[in-house]
Chains A and B, each alone.
Chain A
Amino acid sequence: MIEFGAGNLRVPKLSRKVFLVGAGMTDFRKFYPEKQSTELCLEALKMAVQGMGLSPHEFRGMVNYAVYPQFADHFGDQLLAEAKIHDYLGLDPIGNVGVKTGGATGGTGANTAIMAVASGYASMVPVIGWERMDEVDTRQGNAYIASAACKDFESHLGWSYSTYYALMMCRYIYENHPNRETLAKIAQKNHNYARFSPFSQFPGDYTIDEILKAKVVSEPLTFLECCVMSVGAAALIFCDEETALTLTPHPVEVIGMGAGSHTLRTADRRNMPILLLPNETKETYRGRNLDWPGFTSFLPARFATNQAYRMAGITDPVEELHLAETHDAFTVSDIQTYEDVGFRPYGRGAEFIESGDAYLGGRLPTNLSGGLIGSMHAVGATGLFQLAEIFWQVRGEWEKIHGDERLWQKYGKTKPADFMSLQVPDARRGMAISHAGTGSHVTSIILERR
């Protein structure tokens, strides 16, 4: 699609308000033989329900629909696994649906639940997402993920998404000339923030030199600049206003949401005029003579976020949002996303890092969760993990959750001696971007605490 019709750019409007009232997750590991996916999903949902002060029986009596995001049946080797999870949670005969949109599966699961509540069909909807990526070795895991590229024309050329993102990275560096170190700083930031999370899989205090000299996965991307592959689960609970106010005086409202897509084959992306965000005008790109979206931008990230900003009435995201979670599958895709969502104009994403804006204490701290590079990428859970972290932040609960010694012990970890609170002071509003490779699907969700 090159030219938009009025219907394409319609600003989403929910028929009634929708609130996030509970969030939970497991820890995330490369190899998790101790527990089956059913157990992990139950643990994540149990944490969310306990956080709401409800018993399982009370909660079960309130549920009227359920959503199950999981990226790939291949990984868990169980078709219709969502039926098994739903049954395991004792939620039969409530209606439910499995959701799949590649890496954006978690975000799409949340969107589906929000739409179910907003339409009036349901009043309380849990979303439980998970992935079990440890039944096969890493080479086979990469091949499974690359099965979500076009198998006729692209998968055979690498069987690895890092190679496809590295294509974008070379073009991004050629067009925009960021310092190579700036990209590595994204990895450094996220590995470091992961040190303060009991849930995280790959925490670390790395120097820029260590990141740049790490093993090259696909030139120029190094091992420390790529997301992890995880096993784990995350759960969110959405409900209508009437229900939300019986559960908490501070429910978190969905004030903006959007979804976008683009050709599965990166090859097939034709040029088009830049879709302008509320904080941009034609002047922003006067004289720009580069392809768009080309190989350096994600049309669906821009499309989804444009919907979300206009729905939420956001005109200056860096000022009006208090934190964000971006889908940092790779350092380069993160910097591309900063531009797609308007944290900086196209070509200037590096400034978002170099200015300090993206760090705790900056104007818009991003991926304080540790992100996909530092904390987790259990694909079906990822978009939910991001929203859970924002939920805790905007309710001022980050330290209560992440600083809890019992959680560190439960996951067999030691809380670091230099543990620090990553709570953003007075945070009320945050955005999560859920993204599928190489930008085939993206969702954008903006939450605000009442």
Chain B
Amino acid sequence: METVKQRQKVVLLPWDGVKLTRKFFGKTVPAGVIVRENESHIVHHHSYGTLSRFFNELVLGRLFGRICIEKSCRAEPTWGIWLPPRVHCPDCWEEMSWVEVYTGGAKVYTHSMTNLPGAGFMLSTPCPLISVEIPGVCTKFMGYLSEFGEGEPYIGMPIKPVFRMNQPTYTILDVSWVPKD
């Protein structure tokens, strides 16, 4: 007696269908060339590790950096607070210490304007990008000016930090700068 072999089928699972691109960058895709839209929505679960405290302090309205207390590093002419903070000192590789940054003398070191940002920019434009010079800090902290008027920002402009304490983003956007006056 002949047995009928049972075979399984492999089928395409329910899907949203394909989108083919006909035009991109103002140019029509040549006939016969397939340009397929490959979509992706990906979530990364990114840890700030030891630097989490920096972002937690922003929500409390405080700006924290890290400073190396090793004797040999303290003797260096460029010794100062690292802002953005680093966990380890890049010179002696020891763990640095947290310190609150006194921003009384903060001023604009240089500036530009974000007019055409890349995808994912969470702020309105135009948005002044600034590098901040702070006495006692060995870096030039990058940030943005969240209030500005005609002729601002300018190099040497006195500024002070403000913090996004309600609905924080837990990104560097939780601190911004405004004119000191």
Which residues of chain A have a CB within 8 Å of any CB of chain B?
Answer: 2, 30-31, 33-34, 77, 134-135, 137-146, 150-154, 156-160, 162-164, 166-171, 174, 216-221, 265-272, 295
With A266-B142, A267-B139: A143-B118 Cβ-Cβ less than 8 Å: yes
Chain B residues whose C-beta falls within 8 Å of the C-beta of A146 in the assembled complex: 118
The answer to whether B172 touches A158 (Cβ under 8 A) is no
Q: How far is the CA of A162 from the CA of B171 in the complex (A)?
A: 21
Residue in B29, B131, B141 whose beta carbon sits within 8 Å of that of A295 in the complex: B131
Main secondary structure of the interface of B (DSSP, over half): loop
Cβ-based interface call for B140 (8 A): yes
The answer to whether A158 touches B121 (Cβ under 8 A) is yes
Q: How many residues of B contact A (CB 8 A)?
A: 47
Cβ-based interface call for B181 (8 A): no
Residue in A156, A160, A220 whose beta carbon sits within 8 Å of that of B171 in the complex: A156
Chain B residues whose C-beta falls within 8 Å of the C-beta of A143 in the assembled complex: 118-120
The answer to whether B118 touches A174 (Cβ under 8 A) is no
The answer to whether A163 touches B129 (Cβ under 8 A) is yes
Chain B, 88-116, CB within 8 A of any chain A CB: 91, 109-116
Which residue of the partner chain B has the closest CB to A151?
Answer: B46
Chain B, 149-181, CB within 8 A of any chain A CB: 155, 171-173
> Nearest chain A CB to B80's CB is how many angstroms away?
8
The A-B contact count (CB < 8 A) is 152
The answer to whether B142 touches A217 (Cβ under 8 A) is no
> Nearest chain B CB to A47's CB is how many angstroms away?
23
Taking A216-B113, A219-B112 as known contacts, 14 extra A-B pairs with beta carbons closer than 8 A to each other, sorted by chain A number, are A139-B118, A142-B117, A142-B118, A145-B118, A156-B120, A156-B122, A158-B118, A159-B121, A167-B129, A167-B142, A266-B142, A268-B84, A270-B78, A295-B131
> Nearest chain B CB to A136's CB is how many angstroms away?
8
Q: How far is the CA of A156 from the CA of B129 in the complex (A)?
A: 11
Which residue of the partner chain B has the closest CB to A158?
Answer: B114
Cβ-based interface call for B15 (8 A): no
Chain B residues whose C-beta falls within 8 Å of the C-beta of A267 in the assembled complex: 83-84, 131, 139-142
Chain B residues whose C-beta falls within 8 Å of the C-beta of A270 in the assembled complex: 78, 138-139
With A143-B119, A171-B110: A134-B51 Cβ-Cβ less than 8 Å: no
Chain B 1-42 interface 0/1 with A at a Cβ cutoff of 8 Å (1 = within): 000000000000000000000001101011001010010000
> Nearest chain B CB to A93's CB is how many angstroms away?
31
Q: Can you give 15 A-B contacts (C-beta < 8 A)?
A: A2-B91, A142-B118, A142-B119, A153-B142, A153-B172, A154-B142, A156-B173, A158-B114, A167-B131, A170-B111, A170-B112, A171-B155, A217-B116, A219-B112, A219-B126
Q: How far is the CA of A218 from the CA of B121 in the complex (A)?
A: 14
> Nearest chain A CB to B67's CB is how many angstroms away?
14
Which residue of the partner chain B has the closest CB to A223?
Answer: B116
Q: How far is the CA of A267 from the CA of B83 in the complex (A)?
A: 8
Chain B residues whose C-beta falls within 8 Å of the C-beta of A167 in the assembled complex: 110-112, 129-131, 142
Cβ-based interface call for B64 (8 A): no
Q: How far is the CA of A84 from the CA of B127 in the complex (A)?
A: 42
The answer to whether B24 touches A134 (Cβ under 8 A) is yes
Chain B residues whose C-beta falls within 8 Å of the C-beta of A135 in the assembled complex: 38
Q: How far is the CA of A98 from the CA of B126 in the complex (A)?
A: 39
The answer to whether A157 touches B172 (Cβ under 8 A) is yes
The answer to whether B118 touches A140 (Cβ under 8 A) is yes
Chain B residues whose C-beta falls within 8 Å of the C-beta of A157 in the assembled complex: 114, 129, 142-144, 172-173
Chain B residues whose C-beta falls within 8 Å of the C-beta of A154 in the assembled complex: 142, 172
Residue in B35, B110, B138 whose beta carbon sits within 8 Å of that of A170 in the complex: B110
Chain B residues whose C-beta falls within 8 Å of the C-beta of A33 in the assembled complex: 24, 29-30, 33, 35
Chain B 39-51 interface 0/1 with A at a Cβ cutoff of 8 Å (1 = within): 0000000101001
Chain A residues whose C-beta falls within 8 Å of the C-beta of B129 in the assembled complex: 157-158, 163-164, 166-167, 218
Residue in B30, B35, B38 whose beta carbon sits within 8 Å of that of A77 in the complex: B38
Most B Cβ at <10 Å: residue of A150, A159, A221: A159
The answer to whether B109 touches A171 (Cβ under 8 A) is yes
> Nearest chain B CB to A379's CB is how many angstroms away?
15
Which residue of the partner chain B has the closest CB to A169?
Answer: B112
Chain B residues whose C-beta falls within 8 Å of the C-beta of A219 in the assembled complex: 112-113, 115, 126
Q: How far is the CA of A87 from the CA of B117 in the complex (A)?
A: 38
Chain A residues whose C-beta falls within 8 Å of the C-beta of B142 in the assembled complex: 153-154, 157, 167, 265-267
Q: How far is the CA of A156 from the CA of B24 in the complex (A)?
A: 26
The answer to whether B84 touches A265 (Cβ under 8 A) is yes
Chain B residues whose C-beta falls within 8 Å of the C-beta of A140 in the assembled complex: 118-119
Q: How far is the CA of A103 from the CA of B162 in the complex (A)?
A: 35
The answer to whether A174 touches B155 (Cβ under 8 A) is yes
Q: How far is the CA of A248 from the CA of B33 in the complex (A)?
A: 40
Chain B residues whose C-beta falls within 8 Å of the C-beta of A152 in the assembled complex: 48, 51, 84, 172
Q: How far is the CA of A159 from the CA of B46 in the complex (A)?
A: 18
> Nearest chain A CB to B176's CB is how many angstroms away?
10
The answer to whether B172 touches A159 (Cβ under 8 A) is no
Chain B residues whose C-beta falls within 8 Å of the C-beta of A271 in the assembled complex: 78
Chain A residues whose C-beta falls within 8 Å of the C-beta of B155 in the assembled complex: 170-171, 174
> Nearest chain B CB to A21's CB is how many angstroms away?
35
> Nearest chain A CB to B51's CB is how many angstroms away?
7
Chain B residues whose C-beta falls within 8 Å of the C-beta of A162 in the assembled complex: 116
Q: How far is the CA of A4 from the CA of B94 in the complex (A)?
A: 20
The answer to whether B118 touches A160 (Cβ under 8 A) is yes
> Nearest chain B CB to A443's CB is how many angstroms away?
23
The answer to whether B84 touches A218 (Cβ under 8 A) is no
With A159-B117, A159-B120: A295-B51 Cβ-Cβ less than 8 Å: no
Q: How far is the CA of A146 from the CA of B33 in the complex (A)?
A: 30
Q: How far is the CA of A170 from the CA of B111 in the complex (A)?
A: 6
The answer to whether A163 touches B114 (Cβ under 8 A) is yes
Query: Which 10 pairs, one residue from A and one from B, show the smallest C-beta to C-beta distance?
Result: A159-B118, A166-B112, A142-B118, A143-B118, A219-B113, A171-B110, A153-B84, A143-B119, A31-B25, A270-B78
